[in-house]
A and B are shown apart, each in its own frame.
Chain A
Amino acid sequence: MAARSVLLKHLRVNAKPLPHNINLNSSFGLSFNVVRRLFSEEVRGSFLDKSEVTDRVVAVVKNFQKIDPSKVTPNAHFGNGLGLDSLDTVEIVMALEEEFGFEIPDNEADKINTIGLAVEFIASHPQAK
C-alpha cells in the first residue's frame, strides 16, 4: 500500500490547473489538455439591426431614378405612395437583394410591396450582410 502510493506520487505529473481542464492518463508521462468547445453558438448568423436596415433600404430607394426622394418614408407603399409600377417594384427588390448580398425566393419577392415588409424580411434573415 505504502509502496503503491510512493510509486504513484513519483509518477504523477504536475498538472497546471487551468480552467476547464481534465488531466487524463497522467501515468503516460504526457498530459492531455482537453478543451471543451460548444459549437452551436458559433455557427448561427447574425441578424441585422432594424434601424440600420431601414436606413439602408431608404437610401437604396432614394437613389432610384423614378422616385421623388422627398416622398420616401419608412412606411411608404411602393405602388400607392410612391407611384411605382409593379415592374418597378421588382427592380427595387432586386436592388435590395444586391445591396444586402441576399437571395429572396421568387414567391416571397412577389409579396413585398411596401418598405416595411422589405425591412422586416431583411431583418429576420440571418444571413443579411
Chain B
Amino acid sequence: MSAAVASTAAYLARRAAQKQRVRILYRRALKDTLNWAVHRHLFYRDASDLRERFDANKNVEDLDTIDKIIYEGEASYNKWRHPDPYIVPWAPGGSKFTRNPTPPEGVSLLIFIIQ
C-alpha cells in the first residue's frame, strides 16, 4: 500500500512543498543564528547545532509527522526571531532602501555657481 501511495502525484507534490518549506525555514533560521551570534566562532557552533537538529528528522517518511515537525520548527523560529536583524542596506527594510531613487530619464539639474 505504501508503494502505491509513494508514487501518486499528490504525494510527490506534497513532499516537494514540504521540502521547500524546510529549505526556507533552514535559511531563515541560519540567518537568525547569524543575527544572534555576534562572533563568528559562536555562529559556526550554533549553525552546526542547528544543522544537527534538522538532520535528526531527516528520515521521517510519514507526511503528517513531517507537517507537525515543520510546524513546530516554524513556531520555534518565530519565538527566537531577532528584534533587530541585519538587513543589507539597499534591501527592503534596510537603511538605504529608496533613499536615492533613480530620477526619471533625461532630467538634468541646473546648478548656479555665483562668482
Residues of A within 8 A of B112 (CB): 32-34
User: Contact between B51 and A40 (Cβ–Cβ < 8 Å)?
Assistant: no
Residues of B within 8 A of A31 (CB): 115
User: Contact between A90 and B23 (Cβ–Cβ < 8 Å)?
Assistant: yes
Stretch at the interface among B4-12, B75-83, B101-109: B101-109
Given A30-B114, A43-B103, decide whether A37 and B108 contact each other with a Cβ distance below 8 A: yes
Please report the C-alpha to C-alpha distance between residue A110 and residue B28 in the assembled complex, in whole angstroms.
12
User: Contact between A33 and B20 (Cβ–Cβ < 8 Å)?
Assistant: no
In the complex, A38 has a CB within 8 A of chain B: yes
User: Contact between B105 and A37 (Cβ–Cβ < 8 Å)?
Assistant: no
User: Contact between A103 and B30 (Cβ–Cβ < 8 Å)?
Assistant: no
Shortest Cβ distance from residue A108 to the other chain B in the assembled complex, whole angstroms = 11
Which residue from chain B places its CB closest to the CB of A13 in the assembled complex?
Answer: B115
Complex partner residue of B113 from A32, A107, A110, CB under 8 angstroms:
A32
Which residue from chain A places its CB closest to the CB of B112 in the assembled complex?
Answer: A32
A91-112: CB near B (< 8 Å → 1, else 0) gives 1011000000111001101100
Residues of A within 8 A of B54 (CB): 87
User: Contact between A91 and B114 (Cβ–Cβ < 8 Å)?
Assistant: no
Residues of A within 8 A of B36 (CB): none
User: Contact between A86 and B106 (Cβ–Cβ < 8 Å)?
Assistant: no
Which residue from chain B places its CB closest to the CB of A86 in the assembled complex?
Answer: B23
Residues of A within 8 A of B38 (CB): none
Which residue from chain A places its CB closest to the CB of B88 in the assembled complex?
Answer: A103
Given A90-B30, A101-B88, decide whether A38 and B108 contact each other with a Cβ distance below 8 A: yes
Shortest Cβ distance from residue B51 to the other chain A in the assembled complex, whole angstroms = 7
In the complex, A44 has a CB within 8 A of chain B: yes
User: Contact between B113 and A106 (Cβ–Cβ < 8 Å)?
Assistant: no
Residues of A within 8 A of B71 (CB): none
User: Contact between B108 and A110 (Cβ–Cβ < 8 Å)?
Assistant: no
User: Contact between B109 and A39 (Cβ–Cβ < 8 Å)?
Assistant: yes
* Complex A-B: 6 CB contacts under 8 Å: A36-B108, A40-B104, A90-B26, A94-B27, A103-B88, A103-B94
List residues of A whose CB falls within 8 A of some B CB.
30-40, 43-44, 86-87, 89-91, 93-94, 101-103, 106-107, 109-110, 127
List residues of B whose CB falls within 8 A of some A CB.
19-20, 22-24, 26-28, 30-31, 51, 54-55, 87-88, 90-91, 94, 100, 102-115
